[in-house]
Amino acid sequence: MTIFRSFATALLLATPAIAQAPRVATDIAPVHALAAQVMAGVGTPDLLVMPKASPHSYALRPSQAQALQQADLVIWIGPQLTPWLAKPLTALAGDAGQLVLLAAEGTVVHDFRAGLDLGHGDHEDHDHDTDGHQEHDDHDHEDHDHRGDVDPHAWLDPENGKVWLSLIAGKLAALDPDNAAVYRANADRARAELDVVSAEIAQILEPVRARPFVTFHDAYQYFETRFGLAFAGAVSLGDATDPSPARLTALAAVLREDNIRCAFSEPQFDDRLLLAATEQGDLQIGSLDPMGSQLQPGPDLYARLLRAMANSLASCQGN
């Protein structure tokens, strides 16, 4: 028995220690999905904002606060989407690395559209480069602070998803060099899959690209710009605040003038305002789910979210 114990002890000491995978916390389900793809076979990221909640205002559960406190890396869109997260990050995850995706090099970033600049279906007025390399600094708005004007819904452009996959792999490789090759291979595979998804979406949307539509929440310009859609207006602005009476009046005029046939609600928000704004029109009411709130969190959520949005747009506008 003594010989066996000595042999077992020697074997244990001779075996290299297996490093624990980095603890990763992510803000929203689409970002969680990207991180989960990169970490496949090594670890699983934590999700801070539950999919059915609005990211614009949220209170962390104790288990989520613990995940944040234990994180080696926090991946989040940025304070433009989740301003409430800045203080918990400082208080609970001050020593963790951060990847702020809106501020990351290579991310396509757009400003919020003007408050009452209802599009009248003229998406081509937006002068946005769609090659996946436009930086926010390219915008020439010298009369206001860029930070408050950034539209944070950047995950709805799959080209941003591709950029972020590579960035996540790079961060994880630096934290965990032993698994660097796994992270990079996973990211490459996921990027290739997103190319396929984007091609499928373009094909799905081709018949309805020129048909204007309205939404509850002005959250979709990244998707619209990438796939050349004809957005006409939204009940609420991009931060999901309640609309003014003037905005509702302007939206009603757009519905009449542009003969709009389709409007979209969202699972996270009360759709009574959308129904009130569109009650005078002969519209189909569809649903868009930019957070993937109806989907199970996991590595395939991001692609499923994008496909579901394309199918909803095509189905509603095809009627």
pLDDT band at 297 (very low <50, low <70, confident <90, very high): very high
CB atoms within 10 A of CB 291: 25
pLDDT band at 147 (very low <50, low <70, confident <90, very high): very low
User: CA 77, CA 95: separation in Å to the nearest integer?
Assistant: 19
Query: Which amino acid makes up residue 305?
Result: L
Residue 11, pLDDT score:
40
Lowest mean pLDDT among 8-22, 108-122, 246-260, 264-278: 8-22
Residue 258, pLDDT score:
74
DSSP 220-286: -HHHHHHHT--EEEEEE-TT-PPPPHHHHHHHHHHHHHTT--EEEE-TTS-THHHHHHHTTS--EEE
Q: Find all residues with CB under 8 Å of 276, minimum gap 6, and list them.
A: 248
User: Do 139 and 111 meet the contact criterion of CB atoms below 8 Å apart?
Assistant: yes
Residue 194, pLDDT score:
99
Is pLDDT at 59 greater than 60 in this prediction?
yes
User: CA 81, CA 56: separation in Å to the nearest integer?
Assistant: 6
Between 48 and 4, whose confidence is greater?
A: 48
Domains delineated in the chain: 24-109+133-199 (3.40.50.1980), 207-317 (3.40.50.1980)
Structure pTM?
0.81
Query: What proportion of the chain, given as a percentage, has pLDDT over 90?
Result: 56
Between 123 and 74, whose confidence is greater?
A: 74
Element (H, E) at 194: helix 180-205
pLDDT band at 256 (very low <50, low <70, confident <90, very high): confident
- 298 conformational bin, left if phi > 0, alpha if psi -120 to 50, beta if neither: left
Residue 16, pLDDT score:
37
In the chain, % helix, strand, coil (3-state, to 5) comes to: 50, 10, 40
Is pLDDT at 243 greater than 90 in this prediction?
no
Residue 257, pLDDT score:
74
Between 59 and 111, whose confidence is greater?
A: 111
Residue 277, pLDDT score:
61
User: CA 243, CA 185: separation in Å to the nearest integer?
Assistant: 45
Element (H, E) at 216: strand 213-217
Element (H, E) at 46: strand 46-47
Residue with tokens 């599009």: 119
Q: What does the block give as tokens for 98?
A: 């951060």
193-202 tens-digit pLDDT? 999 999 999 9
Average per-residue pLDDT for the chain: 81
pLDDT band at 88 (very low <50, low <70, confident <90, very high): very high
Residue 105, pLDDT score:
97
Element (H, E) at 76: strand 73-76
| Mean pLDDT calculated for residue range 36-57 | 90
- Per DSSP, the chain holds a count of helices (H) and strands (E) of 11, 8
Cα angle 284-285-287, degrees, rounded to a multiple of 5: 140
